[in-house]
């Protein structure tokens, strides 16, 4: 059973977000809502070719258009974009251009229509170069070379290629197996598709640069900008107060921030650069597509003895992130080897999208395990239960692990035992199916900082560098501060996302904010409390360490009747300031949040349409700090998985390399009508390394969703779908054999 | 067509620009369509609608505004850039996502797909107009209580579609609520919450 919860005053409750009022009244000011006096508007011109040398660019007609202030391109704005290309050098404008959508020029004008008009007046002469769109083709010796070193994306560390990892003895593992299975699973490029289009506003004041960004991390964005523009950090300010989603494609600073900076410097005016929705689909990145070739050895009882994974991931024209595949993480695999070739092609860049390395490979691996269970006459429940991860990579213990409980509780809730049937066994036109899969995401502590200013009336002001991309991070930080301080939430003010005002934060990516910055908030609260207790000791005739603070009252722990209102203690203090920079680490352990998902579907064999009739998501995320927001995160992650499972794919024309569906309607993002009601269960426990026992929440829910749905479709139809998305067309082709 | 220029592409904006260039008629529409193409044929001076303005009486949230609007500007742009009502968001600017939803004469509509010059004499309600002073609309309260906003960028649009639904049907079923909000995308996938908020608001007002 899960470890008993500690007593909390606000942690674990259902707390509406601290900025919900601003969001429902339209008062929340997002980056694009900011208007500065004299501000110009900017638009980006992109390459229509997948691979071409620019042999001439004539901007004279564009510059003559009334209202146009500045035009920049590779000749007059050679700014490196370090985080945009980790294996071969990338600039904000590149020559040659390497994919359809590679930026060629940007225009700043007095309004956005003029900027758009000006793009059409820029004359670019391209000399086409042979291109390659398919990742396997790209690895052939005769393929067009996208980087000087070829198309295997060879970098260092996490950006090496092939990415290789192994343990145990693979050959011995396969020998030990009663049966060995081999198969290939394929996933496609899916755009993050957050509703807020990319926008950046840059302004220069006496050598100081301010960027109002739409970024998941103001601190990292500032570091990037300072580095690539060769500025001291003290001359760069990055602000992001409200953020309209990103799911991994607004980490750090991006090329559009840089373009706004250059245009603002050249024009001497503030510049707002806006992406169109098409820009957003092709100009940044989506989830990397993959081809996963598995070889899995199992004993007759279903126990895995060995797994080898040979894969290719398509990173597009530039390497921004790892290209790894980690869906095997949730299983006990005694002998393991993976070789993943991250590959360049002349297509849209692929990088982080919520749990970057997971949903595609959980789809592959958990689908295959489900298939193996079928072929061996086992119930998939037993297959997943038997092979679930119990130690990190079979060796180190986890800081906490309630995956078993997730599986048990989820199966019970959905009624697995009663409802599971042989795959394809149901008659009729609409076929019922049930499926499951395991998922999760790494949890680890790291560098964080926080400041808390206690006002003389006893209210507290928390300063943290976090942006809030929709996870509720601002609210989570305020809840942590409230709990740690002993001051009610309504007496806490929070300032976030401004590098001139708020301390370092890791940035909202990798589900790290709660662990990294939250730990610092707790430490800063302890710092303030020490100062409060030192002041109160005399007044309460007790030692400072005998005092406690709860609900804005300072009292003697051994004699709670001896108490003082907090404002009485601090009324003449001016201001008490607590601060902390923290950087804890695990000792001989690794952390992970776990999940087991279960779905029931109804497959219409006449239309190929699948309806999810029930969805149960069970999560071990340690203590849940805000049940309301955490449930929403789980529901949202599953919904994104629904899109990936059924419909979403950025299609690239095989001849021209042009993306043909860079918009919501054609890329088929799920709507209200496709979203299932998601039942969320948390297996509450207290992780010893977590902030108040909490682990990670944001990324885990998307990880098992695709595989869960795919396995339910298999159970309904008896047909295995090995390539995403599982569209009605594919289903019809399979069931009408 | 020369392949070193932008390809043949009629964006929604260029189409709307064409419409906005003058009285609606075939000549103007064809201007918009043709002019979207090669640079040689493209004359900035006659860029459809550029610089042409009309004085307009706009009624938004019960207030009358007398403003000059450029013909090619959409209602979403005018609300945001000229009236400072930035609660209305633009997510796709092509009539797909619903972030720009406002209520026009009682119906929820995409304000990115309505030219501002068409709005004379119409009653426009935006998210800023829902609260009565400090008193939030029950739907806004329900969105707070039910965690209707994750990143919050689609929220104004969800609320305006929900409001339009409740104006017509004060007791929607869950299926009707979903249908009523189905033109509003939420990439955070917060659909369960948004529907729950509409149903809770309906229960509150009835």
Nearest to B155 among A23, A119, A677 (CB): A23
Mean pLDDT of A375-392: 97
Mean pLDDT of A254-259: 98
- CA triple A640-A643-A646, angle to 5 deg: 145
Chain B residue numbers touching A30 (CB-CB < 8 A): 86, 89, 153
pLDDT in tens, A294-326: 999 999 999 999 999 999 999 999 999 999 999
The answer, yes or no, to whether residue A501 has pLDDT greater than 70, is: yes
pLDDT in tens, A123-147: 999 999 999 999 999 999 999 999 9
Chain A with chain B: Cβ pairs closer than 8 A: 202
Chain B residue numbers touching A28 (CB-CB < 8 A): 152
Interface touch A195/B155, C-beta < 8 Å = no
pLDDT in tens, A627-642: 999 999 999 999 999 9
Pick the CATH number of A20-27+445-582 from 3.30.365.10, 1.10.3720.10, 3.40.50.300, 3.40.630.30: 3.30.365.10
pLDDT in tens, A684-734: 999 999 999 999 999 999 999 999 999 999 999 999 999 999 999 999 999
pLDDT in tens, B132-141: 998 999 999 9
Q: How many CB atoms lie within 10 A of CB B54?
A: 13
Interface touch A195/B89, C-beta < 8 Å = yes
- Give the pairing type, strands A208-213 and A236-239: parallel
Write down the mean pLDDT value for chain A.
96
| Sequence ranges of the domains in chain B | 12-46, 53-129, 138-205
ipTM above 0.90, yes or no: yes
Pick the CATH number of A34-129+193-282 from 3.90.1170.50, 3.30.420.40, 3.30.70.20, 3.20.20.140: 3.90.1170.50
Q: How far is CA A124 from the centre of its chain?
A: 36
By C-alpha distance, the chain B residue nearest A125 is B4
Mean pLDDT of A20-45: 98
pLDDT in tens, B36-94: 333 344 444 445 556 789 999 999 999 999 999 999 999 999 999 999 999 999 999 99
Which pLDDT belongs to residue A156?
84
By C-alpha distance, the chain B residue nearest A247 is B188
Percent of chain A at pLDDT > 70 equals: 99
Interface touch A636/B188, C-beta < 8 Å = yes
Nearest to B192 among A26, A658, A677 (CB): A677
Q: Please give the torsion angle defined by the CA atoms of residues A47, A51, A52 and A57, in that order, rounded to the nearest 10 degrees.
A: 20
Provide the CATH topology of domain B138-205.
DNA polymerase; domain 1 (1.10.150)
Mean pLDDT of A251-259: 95
Mean pLDDT of A174-195: 98
Which pLDDT belongs to residue A481?
98
Q: Check: CB of residue A96 under 8 Å from CB of residue A27.
A: no
Q: Give the gap in angstroms from C-alpha B10 to the nearest C-alpha of chain A.
A: 13
Chain B contact present for A612, CB below 8 A? no
Mean pLDDT of A383-390: 98
Mean pLDDT of A200-208: 97
Mean pLDDT of B123-131: 98
pLDDT in tens, A50-85: 999 999 999 999 999 999 999 999 999 999 999 999
- DSSP per-residue letters across B32-43: HHHHTS-TTT--
Q: Check: CB of residue B35 under 8 Å from CB of residue B11.
A: no
pLDDT in tens, A422-475: 999 998 999 999 999 999 999 999 999 999 999 999 999 999 999 999 999 999
Q: With cut-offs at 50, 70 and 90, classify the pLDDT of residue B10.
A: very low
Chain B contact present for A117, CB below 8 A? yes
**What does pTM read for this prediction?**
0.94
* CATH number 3.30.70.1150 given to A354-441+592-735: no
Interface touch B192/A671, C-beta < 8 Å = no
Q: What CA–CA distance (Å, rounded) separates A97 from A80?
A: 15
Which pLDDT belongs to residue B206?
80
pLDDT in tens, A506-523: 988 888 999 999 999 999
Q: How many CB atoms lie within 10 A of CB A265?
A: 18
Mean pLDDT of A328-339: 98
The answer, yes or no, to whether residue A5 has pLDDT greater than 70, is: no
Chain A residue numbers touching B155 (CB-CB < 8 A): 23-24
Chain B contact present for A281, CB below 8 A? no
Indicate the length of chain A as a whole number. Answer: 737
Q: What CA–CA distance (Å, rounded) separates A148 from A98?
A: 12
Which pLDDT belongs to residue A432?
97
Which pLDDT belongs to residue A452?
98
Same fold, A20-27+445-582 and A354-441+592-735: yes
- DSSP per-residue letters across A486-539: T--GGGEEEEESBTTTS-----S-TT-HHHHHHHHHHHHHHHHHHHHHHHHHHH
Q: Check: CB of residue A395 under 8 Å from CB of residue A686.
A: no
- DSSP per-residue letters across A651-702: -B-TTT--BS--SHHHHT---TTTPPPEEEEE-----TTSBTTB---SSGGG
By C-alpha distance, the chain A residue nearest B145 is A16
Q: What number does CATH give the domain B53-129?
A: 3.10.20.30
| Sequence ranges of the domains in chain A | 20-27+445-582, 34-129+193-282, 354-441+592-735
Q: Give the gap in angstroms from C-alpha A571 to the nearest C-alpha of chain B.
A: 31
Q: Give the gap in angstroms from C-alpha A535 to the nearest C-alpha of chain B.
A: 39
Q: With cut-offs at 50, 70 and 90, classify the pLDDT of residue A88.
A: confident
Q: Check: CB of residue B78 under 8 Å from CB of residue B145.
A: no
Q: With cut-offs at 50, 70 and 90, classify the pLDDT of residue B177.
A: very high
Chain B contact present for A121, CB below 8 A? yes
Interface touch A671/B84, C-beta < 8 Å = no
């Amino acid at each position: 059973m899960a470890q008993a919860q500690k007593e909390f005053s606000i942690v674990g409750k259902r707390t509406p977000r601290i900025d919900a009022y601003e969001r429902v009244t339209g008062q929340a000011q997002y980056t694009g809502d900011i208007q500065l006096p004299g501000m110009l508007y900017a638009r980006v011109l992109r390459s229509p070719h997948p691979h071409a040398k620019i042999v001439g660019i004539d901007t004279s007609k564009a510059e003559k258009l009334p209202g146009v202030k500045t035009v920049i391109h590779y000749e007059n704005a050679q700014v490196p974009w370090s985080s945009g290309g980790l294996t071969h050098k990338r600039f904000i404008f590149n020559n040659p251009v390497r994919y359809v959508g590679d930026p060629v020029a940007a225009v700043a004008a007095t309004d956005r229509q003029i900027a758009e008009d000006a793009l059409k007046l820029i004359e670019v002469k391209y000399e086409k170069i042979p291109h390659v769109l398919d990742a396997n083709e790209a690895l052939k010796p005769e393929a067009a070379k996208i980087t000087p070193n070829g198309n295997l994306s060879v970098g260092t560390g996490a950006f090496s290629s092939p990415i290789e990892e192994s343990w145990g003895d693979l050959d011995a593992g396969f020998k030990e197996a009663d049966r060995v299975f081999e198969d290939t699973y394929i996933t496609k490029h899916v755009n993050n598709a957050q509703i807020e289009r990319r926008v950046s506003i840059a302004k220069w004041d006496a050598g100081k640069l301010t960027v109002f960004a739409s970024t998941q991390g103001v601190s990292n964005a500032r570091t990037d900008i300072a580095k690539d523009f060769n500025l001291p950090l003290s001359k760069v300010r990055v602000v992001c107060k409200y953020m309209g989603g990103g799911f991994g494609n607004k980490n750090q600073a991006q090329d559009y921030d840089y373009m706004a900076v250059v245009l603002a410097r050249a024009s001497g005016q503030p510049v707002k650069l806006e992406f169109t929705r098409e820009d957003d689909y092709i100009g940044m990145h989506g989830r990397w597509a993959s081809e996963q070739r598995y070889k899995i050895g199992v004993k007759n009882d279903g126990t895995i003895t060995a797994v080898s994974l040979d894969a290719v991931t398509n990173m597009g024209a530039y390497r921004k992130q790892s290209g790894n595949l980690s869906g095997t993480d949730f299983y006990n695999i005694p002998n393991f080897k993976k070789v993943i070739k991250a590959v360049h092609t002349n297509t849209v860049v692929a990088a982080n999208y919520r749990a970057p390395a997971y949903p595609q490979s959980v789809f592959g691996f958990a689908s295959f395990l489900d298939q193996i269970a079928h072929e061996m006459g086992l119930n998939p429940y037993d297959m997943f239960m038997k092979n679930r991860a119990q130690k990190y990579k079979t060796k180190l213990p986890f800081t906490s692990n309630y995956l078993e409980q997730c599986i048990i509780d989820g199966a019970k809730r959905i009624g697995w035992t009663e409802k599971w049937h042989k795959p394809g066994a149901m008659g009729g036109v609409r076929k019922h199916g049930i499926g499951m899969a395991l998922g999760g995401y790494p949890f680890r502590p790291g560098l964080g900082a926080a400041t808390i200013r206690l006002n003389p009336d006893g209210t507290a002001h928390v300063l943290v560098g976090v942006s809030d991309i929709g996870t509720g991070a601002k609210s989570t930080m305020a809840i942590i501060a409230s709990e740690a301080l002993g001051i009610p939430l309504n007496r806490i003010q929070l300032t976030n996302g401004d590098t001139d005002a708020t301390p370092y934060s890791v940035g909202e990516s990798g589900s790290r904010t709660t662990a990294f910055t939250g730990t610092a908030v707790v430490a800063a609260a302890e710092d303030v409390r020490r100062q409060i207790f030192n002041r109160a000791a005399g007044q309460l005739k007790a030692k400072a360490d005998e005092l406690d603070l709860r609900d804005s009252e300072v009292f003697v722990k051994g004699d709670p009747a001896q108490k003082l209102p907090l404002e009485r203690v601090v009324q003449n203090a001016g201001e008490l300031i607590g601060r902390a920079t923290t950087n804890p680490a695990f000792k001989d352990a690794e952390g992970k949040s776990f999940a087991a998902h279960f779905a029931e579907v109804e497959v219409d064999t006449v239309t190929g349409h699948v309806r999810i009739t029930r969805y149960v998501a069970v999560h071990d995320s340690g203590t849940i700090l805000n049940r309301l927001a955490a449930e929403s995160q789980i529901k949202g992650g599953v919904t994104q998985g629904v899109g990936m499972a059924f419909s979403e794919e950025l299609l690239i024309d095989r001849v021209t390399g042009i993306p043909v569906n860079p918009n919501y309607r054609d890329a088929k993002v799920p709507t209200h009508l496709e979203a299932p009601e998601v039942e969320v269960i948390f297996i509450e426990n207290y992780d010893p390394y977590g902030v108040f026992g909490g682990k990670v929440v944001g990324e885990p829910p998307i990880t098992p969703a695709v595989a869960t749905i795919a396995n339910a479709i298999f159970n309904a139809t008896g047909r295995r779908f090995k390539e995403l998305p599982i569209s009605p067309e594919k289903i019809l082709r399979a069931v009408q054999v | 067509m020369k392949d070193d220029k932008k390809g043949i592409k009629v964006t929604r904006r260029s189409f709307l620009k064409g419409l906005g260039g003058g009285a609606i008629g075939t000549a103007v529409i064809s201007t918009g369509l043709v002019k979207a193409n090669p640079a040689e044929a493209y004359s900035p001076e006659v860029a459809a609608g550029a610089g042409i303005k009309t004085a307009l009486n706009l009624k938004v949230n019960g207030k009358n505004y007398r403003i000059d609007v450029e013909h090619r500007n959409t209602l979403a742009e005018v609300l945001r850039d000229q009236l400072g009502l930035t609660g209305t968001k633009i997510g796709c600017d092509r009539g797909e996502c619903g972030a720009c939803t406002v209520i026009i004469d009682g119906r929820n509509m995409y304000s990115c797909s309505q030219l501002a010059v068409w709005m004379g004499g119409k009653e426009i309600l935006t998210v800023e107009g829902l609260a009565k002073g400090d008193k939030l609309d029950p739907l806004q309260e329900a969105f707070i209580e039910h965690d209707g906003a994750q990143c919050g960028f689609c929220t104004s649009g969800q609320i305006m579609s929900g409001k339009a639904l409740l104006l017509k049907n004060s007791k929607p079923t869950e299926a009707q609520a979903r249908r009523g909000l189905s033109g509003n995308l939420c990439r955070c996938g917060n659909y369960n919450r948004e529907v729950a908020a509409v149903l809770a608001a309906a229960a509150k007002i009835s």
